[in-house]
Amino acid sequence: MTYEFLQHYWWLVVSLLGALLVFLMFVQGANSMIFSLGRTEEEQRMVVNSTGRKWELTFTTLVTFGGAFFASFPLFYSTSFGGAYWLWMLILFSFVLQAVSYEFQNKLGNLLGTRTFRWFLVANGILGPLLLGGAVATFFNGSNFIVDKNNIAGGLQPVISRWANSSGGLDALLDVWNLVLGFAVFFLARVLGTLYVRNNVNDENIRNRCGVRLLGAAVPFLILFVAFVLHVLLKDGYAYDAATGEISIVPGKYLDNMLTMWYVFAVFVAGVALVLYAIAKSVLDKTYIKGIWPAGIGVVLTVLALLLCAGWNGTAYYPSNADLQSSLTIANSSSSEFTLSVMAVVSLLVPFVLAYIAYVWRAMDRKKIDKAELGTDEMY
């Protein structure tokens, strides 16, 4: 395995984790609709318990995504997290609130009241996908940072990576295209949320409301998603020269990536088709409750293809608008060959992890959540 292969392999692994994270944000999507999918206390509890049995997978995938990025592309970790301080802090605050809200919301003595904790879940349901989507959009639209490794031994500051302004990364939200993807991911999470709850909760009222909400989320999602994809395919991209490491702006770079890497494009098309199929069938057939599976697989494939398009084929995956040559590529930001090799061996465990998650998911979801289960002591 060459160093270059390992860098590409690890971008694939990180992209796959990112794609799984977007799929698993069905938890956030459903949580953003707790009060509209569930009108009564019983219904709201069913929704909360439905996502409450999966939220840890989303949370763990986020943590593992961060850890894998740290291990494989530490310069991104150092540059993005250190620079876009406030953007990441807002994301983290919302996930902290989410993590305790399930356990605390229905417990005696929770001091803040059930509704407060459910509103925390709603807040995370909105902010999580919106801000993570906005952060991912910067892979295509760029951010304002400067990287100078010489600083560690000289220069004006000993800090290698700096943000070029004092916004702490919130300037990303001033770029309309970052917002477009942010809202696209937000509505996608709601699409997935309705499909998941429809599958997981055996309640006529909730399932009917999922159908209504699905349409309300799918339309804006599709408009925003198509707009963003067209924008990306038509815009200038950031390329790097593998021999010199020099970064340049190339017109139509992402479109070229999709055409050059036809297999990535095929994955993208398959993913989009599966998502469209799931939405269409779920809208047209009220009794169809398995839409989460084609939609989930479709989302994983689509996001995977977009992230591969951002990082493979000589593309700078984290472009700098402040200093083009500071842009991060999988070549200049990765860990050493040795570390990537070691981690590649570790990554062989991922299929086993996915296998036991699938097994447990199946075992736990065999019986759907219903009102009768609310009376037992095995509920939040």
Partner 1 sequence: MYNLLMSVDPFAIDWSRAQFALTAIYHWLFVPLTLGLAVVMGIMETCYYRTKNVFWKDVAKFWQRLFGINFAMGVATGIILEFEFGTNWSNYSWFVGDIFGAPLAIEGIVAFFLESTFVAVMFFGWKKVSPGFHLASTWLTGVGATLSAWWILVANAWMQYPVGCEFNPDTVRNEMTSFADVALSPFAIDKFFHTVISSWIVGAVFVVAVSSWYLIKKRDQRLARESMKIGAVFGLVASLLAAFTGDLSAVKVAKVQPMKLAAMEALYDGGNGVSLTAFAAVNPFRQPDYAAGGEPPLRIGIPYGLSILATHDPQGFVPGVNDILNGYVRPDGTRELSAEEKMEKGRIAINTLARYRERKAANADSSELAGLNDTLQANMPYFGYGYIKDKAELVPYIPLCFYAFRVMVGLGAYFILLFAVIIFLLYKRDIQKYGYLLWLGVLSLPLAYIASEAGWIVAEMGRQPWAIQDLLPTCAAVSDISAGSVAVTFFIFLALFTTLLAVEVNILCKQIKKGPEYTAN
Report the site for partner 1 in 251-290 (rule: CB under 8 A): none
Whole-number Cα distances in Å, 72 to 279, 283, 293, 317, 330: 35, 41, 30, 14, 9
Min CB(262)–partner 1 separation in Å: 31
243 touches partner 1 by CB under 8 A: no
198: closest CA among 187, 179, 213, 188? 213
209: closest CA among 23, 33, 28, 32? 33
The smaller minimum CB distance to partner 1, of residues 176 and 349, is found at 349
> How does DSSP classify residue 78?
I
Q: Pattern 125-164, binding to partner 1, x per CB under 8 A?
A: ------------------------xx-xxxxxxxxxxxx-
202 touches partner 1 by CB under 8 A: no
List residues bridging with 217 in a β-sheet. Answer: none
The smaller minimum CB distance to partner 1, of residues 36 and 64, is found at 64
195, two tokens: 């499909």
The smaller minimum CB distance to partner 1, of residues 157 and 208, is found at 157
The window from 258-266, 283-291, 313-321, 351-359 that contacts partner 1 (CB under 8 A) reads 351-359
241-264: b (≥16 Cβ within 10 Å) or e: eeeeeebeebeebbbbbbeebeeb
CA end-to-end distance (rounded Å), the chain: 48
Q: What are phi and psi of 299, to 5 degrees?
A: -65, -45
The smaller minimum CB distance to partner 1, of residues 85 and 288, is found at 85
Please give the Cα distance from 256 to 264 (Å, whole number).
Answer: 12
Min CB(190)–partner 1 separation in Å: 23
> How does DSSP classify residue 370?
-
Q: Pattern 159-188, binding to partner 1, x per CB under 8 A?
A: xxxxx--x-x--------------------
Other C-beta atoms closer than 10 Å to the C-beta of 370 total 11
The smaller minimum CB distance to partner 1, of residues 36 and 151, is found at 151
Q: How many residues bind partner 1 (CB under 8 A)?
A: 82
| SS3 state of residue 146 | strand
220 touches partner 1 by CB under 8 A: no
The smaller minimum CB distance to partner 1, of residues 324 and 343, is found at 343
Please give the Cα distance from 71 to 296 (Å, whole number).
Answer: 27
Tell which one of 287, 367, 372, 375 touches partner 1 (CB under 8 A): 367
The smaller minimum CB distance to partner 1, of residues 68 and 179, is found at 68
The smaller minimum CB distance to partner 1, of residues 85 and 177, is found at 85
Contacts 24+ apart (CB under 8 A), 38-47: 38/206, 39/205, 42/371, 42/374, 43/203, 43/205, 43/206, 44/118, 45/106, 45/374, 45/379, 45/380, 46/201, 46/203, 46/206, 46/369, 46/370, 46/371, 46/374, 47/197, 47/201, 47/206
Please give the Cα distance from 71 to 74 (Å, whole number).
Answer: 6
Min CB(82)–partner 1 separation in Å: 3
The smaller minimum CB distance to partner 1, of residues 231 and 368, is found at 368
Tell which one of 9, 26, 95, 187 touches partner 1 (CB under 8 A): 95
For the chain, how many residues are written?
380
Half-sphere exposure of 91 (CA within 13 A, CB side): 22
The window from 130-138, 206-214, 259-267, 364-372 that contacts partner 1 (CB under 8 A) reads 364-372
96 touches partner 1 by CB under 8 A: yes
Min CB(70)–partner 1 separation in Å: 4
Per CB under 8 A, which of residues 25..84 are in contact with partner 1?
53-54, 56-57, 59-60, 62-64, 66-68, 70-72, 74-75, 77-83
Please give the Cα distance from 83 to 86 (Å, whole number).
Answer: 8
Min CB(320)–partner 1 separation in Å: 15
Per CB under 8 A, which of residues 311..350 are in contact with partner 1?
335-336, 338-339, 342-343, 346-347, 349-350
351 touches partner 1 by CB under 8 A: no
356 touches partner 1 by CB under 8 A: yes
